[in-house]
Amino acid sequence: MRRRRPTHKPRPSWIDKVVLPDRPEESRRPSAAAGYAILVCSVLVLLVGSYAVFFSAFLPKTGIWVLDVLAEDRHYKYLVIMLIPAGTGFVIANWVGWQYYMNS
């Protein structure tokens, strides 16, 4: 039996009960298609958000209904763009709080 230092706190017992099924290493990794889908969605959000916030004031109407509605809006077009940093801050604060809880 190993002796533990008195400052070391053991991990909760439920973590030891979590067992991953025996699968090959290749099946645990996400597929390349999932990575490309995340990349394409990220670029699409960046382009549409950039157009809505910055470029719509300088460019004429595109003829695409969704982009024209975003260009004419003066208030809510910033909502989606501002949800990204607000959501990120919320997720980080929750993660830090969970770490404090787990290590207290």
Amino acid at position 89, single letter:
G
CB 67 within 8 A of CB 51: yes
| pLDDT of the residue at 67 | 83
**In this structure, are residues 43 and 37 in contact, taking their beta carbons and an 8 Å threshold?**
no
pLDDT per position as a tens digit, 6-15:
565 665 566 5
pLDDT digits (tens, 9 = 90+) for 20-76: 566 665 566 778 898 999 999 999 988 888 888 888 888 888 888 888 888 888 777
- Does this model's pTM top 0.75? no
